[in-house]
Amino acid sequence: MSRTRLLDEEVGRAMSALSATAKKGLADPVLAELVVIRASQLNHCAFCLDMHLKAARRSGESEERIQLLNAWEETEDLYTEQERAALALTEAVTVLTGGTSRTKSGGGFVPDEVYDRAAKHFDEVRLAHLIALISVINSWNRLMVSRRIPPGGYRP
Amino acid sequence: MNTAEETVEYAAEQSPRLRWAEHAPEVYKAMIRLDAAAGRGLDARLRELVKIRASQLNHCALCLDMHSKDALAAGESVERIVQLSAWEESRHFYTEKELAALELTEAVTVLTDGFVPDEVYDKAAKHFDEAELAQLIAAIAVINAWNRFGVACRMTPGHYQPGQHG
């Protein structure tokens, strides 16, 4: 059985509007791509990875920073402290399921240290938009993975 | 019983970590618009079951408060809400269509463990027509976004009144 490609038109429009609003409020397009790529890696969204890798390359992001995003915690000097705080928040907000509050990975909730680290680098308005961006890419990931939308077709 | 209840000391209520809707009002409006669009055409009780189950998996306290109350207001039974976190062991509380939707909800919500299996998708596709299925997937995707706002900003549960947000 093949999967539906259907997406309600109003849902599609509302999703796009939400994405644009979140991105605008974060006011850092370079960081925005890193955040959506990292969330899409965690959620295994092939379509989203294809789209945002192309978008990041097109906007001049370096190949090294794209390639090593999957292991950003092990890198030095490749990402700024602000970017690292945002990536840590992206991971915590994306991996909400599983385990209990005591499970380190996939353990639910967003730890205070992760939140506080982000709050040190972003004022409340930008932090709210960063959380919005993480939330909305999580929705896109789910829309694309569940309908198995194939990667490769995206043109920036 | 009454005296015992009166002397219970609960932990202090915490304020939200971030009042995100005040700091990002345009985002909040966009979420409300999206939420209204994603719910259209789905049975109200089914929609609430899906939202409660996703909120359980994502541990969103505010969302559980809201959607349990909305479910009760929509005529849902306490029993079916209570059994929801163990639905695989209490299948006779739910219809086959609801079970297919719950299974899809779990697969789409727990993406970090990988993909949405064919058997889960196909079962849902047997019970929902294509337009309904697209809306079911949209509803699951959207509650997952609300859950993330709720958990990341540590929104305080307990104060929701059913139907508060229309």
- The answer to whether position A1 is within a domain reads no
pLDDT at site A107:
56
Structural tokens at position A115: 């939140």
Domain-located, residue A156:
no
Q: Pick A103 or A152 by higher pLDDT.
A: A152
Sign of the alpha-carbon torsion through A47, A48, A52, A53? negative
List the single residue in B112, B115, B125 with the smallest CB-CB distance to A94.
B112
Question: CA-to-CA distance for B126 and B120, rounded, in angstroms?
Answer: 10
Q: Which residues in A lie closer than 8 A to residue B134 (C-beta atoms)?
A: 4, 6-8, 11, 147
Region of poorest pLDDT, from B60-64, B79-83, B151-155, B160-164 = B160-164
Cα separations in angstroms, A90 against A3, A112, A153, B41: 29, 14, 26, 32
Asked whether residue A49 is domain-assigned, the answer is: yes
- Indicate if the pLDDT at residue B149 is higher than 50: yes
Q: Average pLDDT over chain B, rounded to whole?
A: 94
Residue A8 and residue B151: Cβ atoms within 8 Å?
no
Nearest to A47 by CA among A137, A133, A156, A145: A145
CA dist B154 and B62 (Å) reads 8
- The pLDDT tens digits of the residues spanning B50-100 come to 999 999 999 999 999 999 999 999 999 999 999 999 999 999 999 999 999
| Helices then strands, each counted (H, E), chain A | 7, 0
Domains identified in chain A, total number:
1
For position B89, what pLDDT does the model report? 96
Name the percent of chain B lying above pLDDT 90: 90
Assigned domain for A77 exists: yes
**3 state SS of A31:** helix
Residues of A in Cβ contact (< 8 Å) with B17? 115
Candidate ranges A92-101, A106-115, B60-69; pick with highest mean pLDDT? B60-69
Identify the domain containing residue A31 by its residue range: 9-146
> pLDDT (tens digit, 9 = 90+) per residue, B24-46?
999 999 999 999 999 899 999 99
For the domain that residue A29 is a member of, what is the CATH number?
A: 1.20.1290.10
Q: What is the pLDDT of residues A3-23, one digit of tens each?
A: 999 999 999 999 999 999 999
| DSSP codes, B18-39 | --HHHH-HHHHHHHHHHHHHHH
- Amino acid identity of residue A133, one-letter, is L
In-domain check, residue A70: yes
Q: Could you read off the pLDDT of A23-44 as tens digits, one per residue?
A: 999 999 999 999 999 999 999 9
Architecture of domain B23-152: Up-down Bundle (1.20)
pLDDT (0 to 100) of residue B3: 56
Q: State the pLDDT at residue A105.
A: 47
Residue A63 in domain: yes
pLDDT band at B7 (very low <50, low <70, confident <90, very high): confident
Is the pLDDT at B116 greater than 90? The verdict is yes
With CB atoms and an 8 Å threshold, state whether A3 touches B121: yes
What's the whole-number mean pLDDT along residues B117-144?
A: 97
**Average of pLDDT values for A101-118?**
75
Residue B18's pLDDT is what? 97
Mean pLDDT of B105-119: 92
- How many Å is the Cα radius of gyration of chain B? 17
pLDDT at residue A100, rounded to an integer: 54
| Surface-to-core class of residue A134, CB atoms within 10 Å of its CB (0-12 exposed, 13-18 middle, 19+ buried) | buried
Q: How many CA atoms lie within 13 A of A135 on its CB side?
A: 31
Interface of B with A in 124-163 (CB under 8 A): 125, 130-131, 133-135, 137-138, 140-142, 144-149, 151-154
Residue A104 has pLDDT above 70, yes or no: no
- Give chain A's end-to-end CA distance (angstroms, integer): 31
Percent of chain A with pLDDT over 70: 92
B32–A contact, CB cutoff 8 A = no
pLDDT the model gives residue B166: 58
CA A109 to chain centre: 17
Residue A155 lies in a domain: no
Partner A contacted by B61 (CB < 8 A): no
Does residue B161 carry a pLDDT above 90? yes
In a domain, A28, yes or no: yes
pTM of the model: 0.94
Domain borders along chain B are 23-152
